């Protein structure tokens, strides 16, 4: 097997690459006040959760905002997999307090909640009205996103994921309007992640890298970030989970999350995410853990049409596959991904997470309506999705 460099070819299609301003580095949280002020903040509305408050990071953020002459308001009623009714309450609080710039600090749930509140502020209605692609048509308040986990990529992406509680499904809101204005990553914040969260978000970053690299929407600009992110996850995820105080591993995982986010925001995703969203919506489970279970099975399904893409990303992660046929290399990669997920504490089967065979028909039906499935490299019917779910059960 041979691989080629990721370079644009003469006559290649026009590429649009959407990206916020990026501030990255140890102790960069000190820049938050300046960032918010540049966006026009006077009364920034900080969206977070009780865990981030307990960790002390919100207090440090508030200090930096006040040092810049700003008067922040804190709203922390966000739960994992943010719910539609939570977004409604957050928007009411935003209006009551006269907020302007919205600052999200926390994991993907906090950042998605911040985005969703911004959507309602600029567009009105209910958050589920904006499910799908480019349904947000009016401007939203400026967004400053500060991730405290290494994996979701919400701080740089055009995605916002919210749980529809009436139907127990996650909905995808996607569009250029949702891309944050500034992404600020201070790897110090990763030090307070619970081990299980470090594992889950790291597996999410890997899934972003893999799915964006094989996506129908992949392009040379996104490809480079996807391969770099996969390489970084392979080098650092186990250490980041096993040695939470390892600063080097935190830096590498923070960069992996950022680059994977840039990749999937511009190349979009695939069947793993379309399926994972449904399981997470039904059972309110950690998104990255579900990805870790599903990804090897989706790799095998998609390798029927793009084995060479999986062979290339396997090589980027350091697997010795260069002399193997591409289909064999893809199978080696699928096995490696499953073993990596298991090594950081993820289960190998959906049944261990509480999924039942009776759930498959429902999960497959809703997965086919998820926007992420549109760019999966292999067309997948409801029957195909059900077969993958059954294999992962």
Q: Which CATH number goes with the domain that contains 341? A: 1.20.1090.10
Question: Looking at the structure, do residues 77 and 134 belong to the same domain, yes or no?
Answer: yes
Residue 3 in any domain: the answer is: no
Question: Looking at the structure, do residues 171 and 205 belong to the same domain, yes or no?
Answer: no
Half-sphere exposure of 98 (CA within 13 A, CB side): 4
Give the number of other CB atoms < 10 A from CB of residue 12.
Answer: 10
Q: What is the mean pLDDT of residues 87-109?
A: 97
Q: What is the mean pLDDT of residues 2-15?
A: 56
27: which residues sit within 8 A by CB, 6+ positions away? 186, 188
Q: What share of the chain is helix, strand, coil (3-state, %, to 5)?
A: 55, 10, 35
Question: Looking at the structure, do residues 170 and 204 belong to the same domain, yes or no?
Answer: no
Q: What is the mean pLDDT of residues 153-157?
A: 97
Residue 177 in any domain: the answer is: yes
d(CA 344, CA 346): 6
Longest CA pairwise span in the chain (Å): 63
Question: Looking at the structure, do residues 274 and 362 belong to the same domain, yes or no?
Answer: yes
Last-in-domain residue among 156, 185, 214: 185
Q: What was the pLDDT predicted at 2?
A: 42
Question: Looking at the structure, do residues 103 and 213 belong to the same domain, yes or no?
Answer: no
Question: Looking at the structure, do residues 86 and 225 belong to the same domain, yes or no?
Answer: no
Q: What was the pLDDT predicted at 245?
A: 86
Residue 23 in any domain: the answer is: no
pLDDT bin (cut points 50, 70, 90) of residue 230 is very high
Residue 363 in any domain: the answer is: yes
Question: Looking at the structure, do residues 243 and 149 belong to the same domain, yes or no?
Answer: no
Last-in-domain residue among 161, 185, 209: 185
Q: What was the pLDDT predicted at 11?
A: 58
In the three-class reduction of DSSP (H, G, I as helix; E, B as strand; rest coil), residue 363 is classed as: helix
Residue 1 in any domain: the answer is: no
Residue 16 in any domain: the answer is: no
Q: Are 99 and 44 in contact (CB under 8 A)?
A: yes
Q: What was the pLDDT predicted at 110?
A: 98
Question: Looking at the structure, do residues 51 and 143 belong to the same domain, yes or no?
Answer: yes
Residue 19 in any domain: the answer is: no
Question: Looking at the structure, do residues 234 and 355 belong to the same domain, yes or no?
Answer: yes
Question: Looking at the structure, do residues 156 and 260 belong to the same domain, yes or no?
Answer: no
Task: Kindly report the pTM of this predicted structure.
Answer: 0.94
Q: What was the pLDDT predicted at 109?
A: 96
Domain, as residue range, for 320: 195-392
Q: Which CATH number goes with the domain that contains 120? A: 3.40.50.1970
Q: What is the mean pLDDT of residues 290-300?
A: 98
In angstroms and rounded to an integer, the radius of gyration of the C-alpha atoms of the chain is 20
Question: Looking at the structure, do residues 34 and 145 belong to the same domain, yes or no?
Answer: yes
Query: What percent of the chain has pLDDT above 70?
Result: 97
Q: What was the pLDDT predicted at 253?
A: 97
**Which of 117, 119, 81, 69 shows the shortest CA–CA distance to 97?**
117
Residue 5 in any domain: the answer is: no
Question: Looking at the structure, do residues 162 and 210 belong to the same domain, yes or no?
Answer: no
**Which of 117, 202, 208, 227 shows the shortest CA–CA distance to 156?**
208
Q: What was the pLDDT predicted at 244?
A: 87
Q: Are 164 and 128 in contact (CB under 8 A)?
A: yes
Residue 1 has pLDDT above 70, yes or no: no
Last-in-domain residue among 130, 150, 185: 185
**Total of domains in the chain:** 2
Average pLDDT, rounded, for the chain: 95
């Amino acid at each position: 097997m041979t691989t080629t460099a990721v370079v644009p070819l003469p006559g290649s299609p026009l590429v649009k690459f959407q990206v916020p301003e990026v501030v990255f580095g140890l102790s960069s949280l000190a820049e938050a006040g300046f960032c918010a002020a540049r966006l026009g903040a006077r009364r920034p509305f900080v969206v977070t959760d009780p865990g981030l408050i307990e960790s002390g990071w919100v207090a440090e953020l508030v200090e930096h905002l006040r040092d810049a002459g700003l008067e922040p308001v804190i709203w922390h009623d966000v739960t994992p997999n943010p719910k539609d009714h939570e977004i409604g309450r957050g928007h009411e609080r935003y209006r009551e307090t006269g907020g302007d710039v919205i600052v999200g600090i926390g994991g993907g749930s906090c950042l998605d909640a911040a985005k969703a509140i911004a959507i309602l502020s600029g567009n009105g209605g209910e958050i589920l009205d904006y499910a799908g692609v480019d349904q947000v048509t009016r401007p939203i308040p400026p967004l400053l996103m500060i991730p405290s986990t290494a994996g979701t990529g919400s701080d740089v992406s055009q995605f916002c994921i919210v749980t529809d509680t009436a139907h127990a499904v996650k909905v995808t809101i996607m569009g250029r309007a949702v891309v944050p204005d500034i992404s600020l990553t201070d790897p110090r914040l990763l030090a307070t992640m619970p081990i299980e969260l470090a594992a889950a978000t790291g597996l999410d970053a890997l899934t972003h890298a893999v799915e964006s690299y094989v996506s129908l929407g992949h392009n040379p600009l996104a490809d480079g970030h996807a391969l770099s992110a996969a390489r970084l996850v392979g080098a650092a995820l186990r250490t980041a989970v096993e040695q939470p105080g390892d600063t080097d591993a935190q830096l590498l995982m923070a960069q992996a999350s950022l680059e994977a986010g840039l990749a999937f925001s511009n190349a979009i995703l695939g069947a793993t995410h379309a399926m994972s969203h449904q399981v997470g919506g039904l059972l309110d489970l950690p998104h990255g853990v579900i990805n870790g279970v599903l990804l090897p099975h989706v790799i095998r399904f998609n390798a029927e049409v793009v084995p060479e893409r999986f062979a290339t990303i396997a090589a980027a992660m350091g697997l010795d596959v260069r002399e193997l046929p591409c289909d064999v290399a893809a199978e080696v990669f699928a096995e490696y991904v499953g073993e990596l997920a298991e090594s950081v504490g993820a289960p190998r089967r959906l049944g261990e997470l509480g999924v039942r065979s009776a759930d498959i028909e429902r999960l497959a039906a809703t997965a086919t309506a998820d926007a992420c499935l549109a760019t999966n490299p292999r067309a997948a019917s409801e029957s195909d999705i059900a077969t993958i779910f059954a294999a992962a059960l």
